[in-house]
C-alpha cells in the first residue's frame, strides 16, 4: 500500500508556497439518503420542506460517525436543480445551520441538474485533494412535488432564434426518443426488458437488506392522517411485467418508445455524503468505504444528452490510467433505459451484465434529480464491502442540456488497495437498527 500523500510542506515543516504541493487521497467515509418519494400531493413528502429532508441526512451522518467533531467539518455543499423557495437561499449554508452544525462551518449551493450531488462531491473532493479542506459534507435534494422540473425557468430566446440547440433539448423525454432514433438497435422491447430487470433487482436487494442500511427514516405529517414514519422507498413497483410496460402510452412522441415504465419518475428525496482526506479519516477514526481515483465531466449535443456518460467515462478512465475492463462494478443512473443501454452498447457490455446496477436503479427506486449522485455512491460502497474481489467501480450519469459525469472509485477491501493504510475500514454503522425485518417486508410491497 502507498504511503500517505501529504499536502505539501517543506522539510522544515513550514507551509509550502504551493509549487511543490502534492495531491492528497480523498476517501468516501459514509453516505445516507432519505427514502425516495413520488412527487405530487399523494406522495409521502407532500407538505414536507425540501431543506428539512437534507437536514435529516446531515444529522444522520453526524449520528453515525460520533468520533467526528462537528467543528472539524470544513464545508457543506448541497445541490438542487430548482434553487428557489425551500431549495433556495444558498441551501448548503442554511442546511448546515438548520442541522445544528457550528456557525463557523460554511456552506454553498450547487447546480448541475441531475449531477448536482455528484458535482458537490467532486468539487469538495478537489478541495480536500488540494489541502483546502480535511472533512466535508456533500449531497443534494430535490422536491419535485414542491418544485416541478423547469419551474420558473426562462430560457434565453437565442437558443431557438439562433438555433443554438434543437428544441427537443429542453425536454428530457424528447432527448431520450432522439437517442432511440440514433441507435435503432435499442428497441422498446430491450428498454422494457431492462426496466423489468431494474425493478426485480431492487426488490431482491430490499429482500436481502442491502438498501435499508443507508436510509434515514423520515417522519411526515398530513392533515387528517397524522404522523407516518417513512422507512422505505415509495416509487418501486415490484412484480412489474413486460406486459404491464407494453400497455403504457408514449407521452413524448406518438408511437414512441419512452414510457413511464422504462424511465425514472418524478420524485422527492435527499442525500448526503461525508468525505475526508485519508489522513483526517485516520486521525479521527473514521471508516473508509471508497477512495476517489478520478472523475470527469463532458459535454455532448444537448438533444441527445443521454449519451453524456460515454465521453465522461472515457475521460475519467484516461485520467485514471485504466480501461473499461478494469471496472468491476457500475452504478449507472437510470434516467432512461435507452440512455443506460447506449452506454453499455458503446463499451460492449451486455444488457444483463452482473456488474451493472446490482441493486437496480432509478427506474425502480426513483430519481430526485440533484440528489441521485450520492445514491449511486452509497450503493457502490456497499457492493464494495460485499465483494472484495472488485478493485475499481464507477458511478456515472447523464445530465440535462447535454452533459455526462463519471467518478471512478477504488475498493479499500481489495487485496491490492493502494490507498492510505492508516484509515479504519467500515463496520456496519448504519441507521438500520430500525426494524429490519419489517422494513424488508415493506420494501418488497412498496
The partner residues of 162 in beta bridges, in order of sequence, read none
Gap between the Cα atoms of 185 and 382, Å rounded: 33
Distance of CA 292 to the CA centre of its chain: 14
Name the nearest CA neighbour of 112 among 401, 311, 406: 401
Gap between the Cα atoms of 391 and 418, Å rounded: 10
What is the dihedral angle through the alpha carbons of 372, 376, 404, 237, rounded to the nearest 10 degrees? -60
**Does the active-site annotation cover 57?**
no
Asked if residues 141 and 86 have their Cβ atoms less than 8 Å apart, the reply is no
Residue found under cell 435529516: 56
Name the nearest CA neighbour of 429 among 394, 381, 390: 381
The DSSP H or E segment spanning 290 is strand 290-299
Per annotation, catalytic residue among 143, 147, 180, 398 = 398
**Computed from CA positions of residues 236, 78, 402, 397, in that sequence, does the dihedral angle turn out positive or negative?**
negative
Gap between the Cα atoms of 322 and 168, Å rounded: 35
What is the grid cell recorded at 330?
457500475
What is the grid cell recorded at 7?
499536502
Asked if residues 176 and 258 have their Cβ atoms less than 8 Å apart, the reply is yes
The C-alpha angle 62, 64, 67, rounded to 5 degrees, equals: 70
Per annotation, catalytic residue among 143, 147, 367, 413 = 367
Gap between the Cα atoms of 356 and 347, Å rounded: 12
**Secondary structure (DSSP) of 294-326:** EEEEEE--GGGGGGTHHHHHHHHHHHHT--GGG
Gap between the Cα atoms of 363 and 351, Å rounded: 15
Per annotation, catalytic residue among 114, 143, 147, 180 = 114
Residues tagged active-site: 114, 367, 398
Amino acid at each position: 500500500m502507498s504511503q500517505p500523500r501529504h499536502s505539501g510542506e517543506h522539510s522544515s515543516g513550514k507551509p509550502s508556497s504551493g509549487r511543490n504541493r502534492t495531491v492528497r487521497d480523498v476517501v468516501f467515509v459514509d453516505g445516507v439518503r432519505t427514502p425516495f418519494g413520488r412527487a405530487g400531493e399523494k406522495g409521502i413528502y407532500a407538505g414536507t420542506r425540501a431543506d428539512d429532508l437534507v437536514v435529516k441526512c446531515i444529522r444522520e451522518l453526524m449520528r453515525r460517525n460520533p468520533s467526528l467533531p462537528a467543528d472539524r467539518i470544513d464545508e457543506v455543499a448541497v445541490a438542487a436543480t430548482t434553487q428557489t423557495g425551500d431549495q433556495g437561499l444558498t441551501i448548503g449554508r442554511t442546511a448546515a445551520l438548520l442541522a445544528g452544525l457550528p456557525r463557523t462551518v460554511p456552506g454553498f449551493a450547487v447546480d448541475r441538474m441531475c449531477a448536482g450531488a455528484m458535482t458537490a462531491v467532486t468539487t469538495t473532493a478537489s478541495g480536500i485533494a488540494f489541502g483546502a479542506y480535511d472533512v466535508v459534507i456533500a449531497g443534494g435534494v430535490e422536491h419535485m412535488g414542491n418544485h416541478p422540473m423547469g419551474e420558473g425557468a426562462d430560457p434565453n430566446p437565442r437558443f431557438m432564434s439562433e438555433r443554438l440547440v434543437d428544441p427537443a433539448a429542453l425536454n428530457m423525454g424528447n432527448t431520450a426518443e432522439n437517442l432511440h432514433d440514433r441507435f435503432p438497435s435499442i428497441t422498446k422491447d430491450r428498454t422494457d426488458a431492462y426496466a423489468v430487470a431494474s425493478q426485480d433487482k431492487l426488490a431482491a436487494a430490499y429482500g436481502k437488506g442491502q438498501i435499508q442500511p443507508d436510509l434515514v427514516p423520515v417522519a411526515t405529517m398530513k392533515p387528517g392522517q397524522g404522523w407516518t414514519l417513512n422507512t422505505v422507498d415509495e416509487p418501486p413497483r415490484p412484480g412489474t411485467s413486460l406486459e404491464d410496460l407494453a400497455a403504457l402510452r408514449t407521452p413524448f412522441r406518438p408511437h414512441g418508445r419512452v414510457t413511464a415504465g422504462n424511465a425514472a419518475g418524478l420524485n422527492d428525496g435527499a442525500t448526503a455524503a461525508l468525505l475526508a482526506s485519508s489522513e483526517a479519516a485516520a486521525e479521527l477514526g473514521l471508516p473508509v468505504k471508497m477512495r476517489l481515483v478520478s472523475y470527469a465531466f463532458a459535454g455532448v449535443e444537448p438533444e441527445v444528452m443521454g449519451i453524456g456518460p460515454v465521453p465522461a467515462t472515457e475521460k475519467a478512465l484516461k485520467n485514471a490510467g485504466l480501461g473499461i475492463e478494469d471496472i468491476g462494478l457500475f452504478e449507472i443512473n437510470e434516467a432512461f433505459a435507452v440512455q443506460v443501454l447506449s452506454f453499455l452498447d458503446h463499451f460492449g457490455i451486455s444488457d444483463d451484465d452482473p456488474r451493472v446496477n446490482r441493486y437496480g436503479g432509478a427506474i425502480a427506486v426513483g430519481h430526485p434529480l440533484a440528489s441521485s449522485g450520492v445514491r449511486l455512491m452509497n450503493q457502490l460502497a456497499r457492493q464494495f464491502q460485499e465483494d472484495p474481489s472488485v478493485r475499481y467501480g464507477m458511478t456515472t450519469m447523464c445530465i440535462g442540456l447535454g452533459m455526462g459525469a463519471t467518478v471512478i472509485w477504488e475498493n479499500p477491501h481489495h487485496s491490492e488497495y493502494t490507498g492510505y493504510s492508516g484509515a479504519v475500514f467500515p463496520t456496519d454503522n448504519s441507521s438500520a437498527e430500525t426494524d429490519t425485518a419489517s422494513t424488508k417486508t415493506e420494501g418488497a410491497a412498496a
